[in-house]
Amino acid sequence: MTIDETVATGCLLCGSTGTGQPITEGLLRRCATCQFVWTAGDLPPPEELYDRAYYETDGYQDYFASAGQRRFESARRLRWLCSRVRPADLLEAGSAGGYFLRAARDAGIDASGVEVSAAAASFAREHLGVPVRTQRFEDHEPGTAVEAVCAFHVLEHVTDPRQFLAAARAALRPGGWLALEVPNIASAAARRLGSAWPAIAPEYHRWHFTPESLSRLLAETGFRVVGQDTIFSRFYWRAPARLRQARNLLVADFAASRSLRVSHPYLGDLLRIFARREAR
């Protein structure tokens, strides 16, 4: 189902009818009832969008050639996951080039992934030696249930978040853990920069979450939220060059938070949530 087809039958989150209010110079629409935000217009299916060009030029500055940065990000995400649970096994949905899987396996976790991009999945298998299936996560056969499902910057890209979360629930054992990270449309930077906020990315991001909307969606799809926070983008900046490139974000979040800390209950650019699969 496309974005246009979804909103024609009602808001994804609350089900109210209508096409939403145009915001952010018309790039996004917002539900008048629950304030959920989505991208205006339509996007090609993910399997068409995320080709090699996305990873080399269109979406990243050469993802495949920036191993140091990817390992740095993955180490921080693994540390965050293990601050709450150290799973015996995990499945990463949208595992991209496999760097988080490599970090998890090096830490002794039985980790595998599902990735819609053939280019990224191939890179993960051939260069990092990690098991990644090439397909939409929503279509994969769960097989043996795992203790944790992780998805970092994936939910905003998928065609139907409810279908994605249903697949995550099916892949988990009862009481299993779901670890999510998505851009936070309620962040200080998003409010200050508007259409210039990099994470809007309307050519790739279909859905735009706040702490409240994501918590509600999880509760309605069989999960119980047990931990939530936000971090500023600089949490993942590795070198002074990256800080210089992101100076607008630094100004925006500092102006709102009056602090150089890397986390905030709700103003950070990136929203992180731990949830557990309910037994029902």
134 — phi, psi (to 5°)? Answer: -95, 100
Rounded Cα–Cα distance for residues 46 and 96 (Å):
13
pLDDT at 143 > cutoff 90: no
pLDDT tens digits, 77-87:
999 999 999 99
Task: List the domains of the chain with CATH numbers.
Answer: 43-277 (3.40.50.150)
pLDDT at 171 > cutoff 60: yes
Rounded Cα–Cα distance for residues 111 and 100 (Å):
9
Place of tokens 């409240």: 212
Entry pTM: 0.91
Nearest to 228 by CA among 185, 264, 186: 264
Q: pLDDT band at 252, cuts 50/70/90? A: low
Rounded Cα–Cα distance for residues 162 and 14 (Å):
12
